[in-house]
Structure 1
Amino acid sequence: MPKTPSPCIDVCKFKREGHCLGCSMTKAQKSLFKELKKNKSRDAFIEMLLEQQKRLGKYGHWSPGYLKKCKKKKVKPVALVQDLA
């Protein structure tokens, strides 16, 4: 089974109090995600990130970009992401 891809959607501009404009991750969160090996851990991280995006606001562009990335990599996205689309 392919790994759950990184939530990064290749924007990488950390201008919102250290949060990326594209995915809302901080640099520390980005490093942490790379260390996660199991899909369950990666899925839980993405669910946490969705809550973070909700709290920060202005991340409606993220889920379509992430769904496109998952489709390209032939990976089923986390259910919560599908619900946003």
Structure 2
Amino acid sequence: MSKTPSPCIDVCKFKRQGHCIGCSMTKAQKSMFKKLKKESHRQAFVEMLVAQQKTLGRYKHWVPQYLRKCLKRKAKPVAAVRDAA
């Protein structure tokens, strides 16, 4: 299995109070994820992001896109993502 891929789904429009309309990350969160090397930290970040999306609302489109990305990269999705599906 490969490492947990970035939550970015290549929309990158920060129109919701600084949050991307595709994945809900802020610009600071995007650069923070890129710096995460430990797999456990990457997984924890994705779990935090799923919780953030639930709080912000209107991110149901992200889960199927991210699952597709994980499948393409042969990465096991984080449990929080599988549960949200």
Normalised-by-shorter TM-score class: over 0.9
Q: How does 1:12-51 map to 2 (within 5 A)?
A: 12-51=12-51
Residue 83 of structure 1 is matched in structure 2 by 83
Percent identity between matched residues is: 72
AA matched with 2:54 = K
Residue 10 of structure 2 is matched in structure 1 by 10
Q: Which moved more, 1:15-24 or 1:1-10?
A: 1-10
What's the TM-score once normalised by structure 1's chain length? 0.97
5+ residue gaps, structure 1, are none
CA RMSD of aligned residues (A): 0.7
Residue 71 of structure 2 is matched in structure 1 by 71
What's the TM-score once normalised by structure 2's chain length? 0.97
CA deviations on 1:32-70 (whole Å, 9 max, x unpaired) are 000000110000000110111011000000010000000
**SS across alignment from 1:37:** coil
5+ residue gaps, structure 2, are none
Residue 58 of structure 2 is matched in structure 1 by 58
Aligned length: 85
